[in-house]
Amino acid sequence: MALSEIAASLYAWDLADETVERCLDNLQGLAGVNSAYLVGLMHKEKRPLHARFYPHNPVRKYYAPEDSRVYWTPRADVYTGRIKPLQSDRDFLSGTDWLDHLIGEARSRGMKTGCEISHTIIDAQIAREQFPDVLQRDVFGNTVGPFEAREAQRALPCLNNPDVQEYLVSLIRDLVLNHDIDYIQTCLVMFGSGYSASNTLNSTVASAGWSALLATTTGGCFCDSCKRKAIAEGLDWDDIVHELRHLNLVSSGRDLEEAHEAQLLRESNYSEGELLLENTALTTWLQFRRRSVDELFKLVTEAAHDARPGIDFRYNTYMAQPELAGLNFTSAFSYVDSVRESDYSDQLGTPEGVAVKRAKLMKARRALGYEKPLIAALGVRPNATSETLRNSVRAAVEAGCDGLSLGHYDGATMERLRAVTDGMRQWEGAESDWIHAPGEYA
Ligand SMILES: [Zn+2]
């Protein structure tokens, strides 16, 4: 199959600073982009993410966004619950529906359009002040989240909280009902995966299996909504809390007996399998998280398809080890229409990085089945090289992908955009590469 969709993400401030015409000219002209989406609900994350400064923004050197703002104009009547969307207070962004702005220009070029709800949907500071009850809690009742991105000090809402679910459904309905988008994409943070090695896609060095799994006991969630749901499912919540408090202390080393036990484990040949066999309440809780995430995917896909049956609900992966956040690809992917595998390991600039990408694509392909599109992300930013990008296109071809998705234009260089087209030609990613006339090569 061909890599028929070449997508690219844009931020509202890219459009404001560079103009939508210039952004799409560059993406279309150099990388063959035929699908553009706005990161319409963006979390607090310095842009560009890896490089200190923008390579081609004519207005500013870098940008520090507000937390979890929507960059379209929300329809107030859709948001009937407690939590409402916030718009930007920055002068150069307020008052414009940046999604419609992008859609207008993209449609005039015959492109697909989409919108992404990114990692977090609630401003962390406002959540702590106004909605502390919706935040994920660890097994001792502390809020969960700042470890996910230290500089952003995130506050993660619980996926099982009814107010959070209602808000998420409203966001999706607003986008699908009121905007001319082909796909709605999300990389919403799931359950906090605890204090271990970074669980982002760019962390290619996985921590030891059992210790990463054990660290989930320092994550979420043990809030009242989770407790109610677990008890309704017939689970012994007190037993779960009792066992996981012990495991939390072993993982964190925050008491003498538990720290000693952790020392023995680290100096032993302990395994993930033993951890699960020994701790049946842990296993029960991990399965409970998985069911919770599956049900969230079901809720989201039903909301999107109720709003418009033909909408494409695209999940955007964001974790090196999604299982540590409760996400099991095989069960959750039964509720999606397509997947963007968001690996950016090409940015390591090495063949090993490309191998990591290939492995993640194979994992997603197997879980997704063969009927739904799998879109491979390409990190077109500094640290990636033209060679790793061309080889990433090869990995996408070899993993049976259906498209590419560039992340992110703001940090891309023109050379790396050209590498996408070069890689497509080299690895024959387009159907036109397979159609030739007799005598053409004589
Ligand atoms: Zn919870």
**What's the gap in Å between 223 CA and the centre of ligand 1?**
4
Q: Does the pLDDT at position 208 exceed 70?
A: no
**What's the gap in Å between 359 CA and the centre of ligand 1?**
32
**What's the gap in Å between 437 CA and the centre of ligand 1?**
61
197-201, 342-346, 353-357: range with lowest mean pLDDT: 197-201
Q: Does the pLDDT at position 436 exceed 50?
A: yes
35-49, 204-218, 224-238, 241-255: range with lowest mean pLDDT: 204-218
> What is the model's pLDDT at position 382?
82
**What's the gap in Å between 368 CA and the centre of ligand 1?**
27
**What's the gap in Å between 217 CA and the centre of ligand 1?**
13
**How do residues 357-413 score in pLDDT, each as one tens digit?**
999 999 999 999 999 999 999 999 888 999 999 999 999 999 999 999 999 999 999
**How do residues 235-270 score in pLDDT, each as one tens digit?**
999 999 999 999 999 999 999 999 999 999 999 999
**What's the gap in Å between 153 CA and the centre of ligand 1?**
18
User: Domain limits of the chain?
Assistant: 5-215+292-433
**What's the gap in Å between 227 CA and the centre of ligand 1?**
7
Q: Does the pLDDT at position 202 exceed 80?
A: no
**How do residues 64-115 score in pLDDT, each as one tens digit?**
999 999 999 999 999 999 999 999 999 999 999 999 999 999 999 999 999 9
**What's the gap in Å between 159 CA and the centre of ligand 1?**
6
> What is the model's pLDDT at position 150?
73
Three-class HEC string of the chain: CCCCEEEEEECHHHHHHHCHHHHHHHHHHHHCCCEEEEEEEECCCCECCCCCCCCCCCCCCCECCCCCEECCCCCHHHCCCCCCCCECCCCCCCCCCHHHHHHHHHHHCCCEEEEEECCCCCCHHHHHHHCHHHECECCCCCECCHHHCCCCCCCCECCCCHHHHHHHHHHHHHHHHHCCCCEEEECCCCCCCCCCCCCECCCCCCCCHHHHHHHHHHCCCCCHHHHHHHHHCCCCHHHHHHHHHHHHHHHHCCCHHHHHHHHHHHCCCCCHHHHHHHCHHHHHHHHHHHHHHHHHHHHHHHHHHHHCCCCEEEEECCECCHHHHCCCHHHHHHHCCEEEECCCHHHHCCHHHHHHHHHHHHHHHHHHCCCCCEEEEEECCECECHHHHHHHHHHHHHCCCCEEEEECHHHCCHHHHHHHHHHHHHCCCCHHHHCCCCCCCC
> What is the model's pLDDT at position 144?
87
For domain 5-215+292-433, the CATH architecture is: Alpha-Beta Barrel (3.20)
CB-proximal residues (5 Å) to ion ligand 1: 158, 160, 221, 223, 225-226
Q: Does the pLDDT at position 203 exceed 50?
A: no
> What is the model's pLDDT at position 205?
47
**What's the gap in Å between 257 CA and the centre of ligand 1?**
28
Q: Does the pLDDT at position 204 exceed 80?
A: no
**What's the gap in Å between 18 CA and the centre of ligand 1?**
41
**What's the gap in Å between 261 CA and the centre of ligand 1?**
28
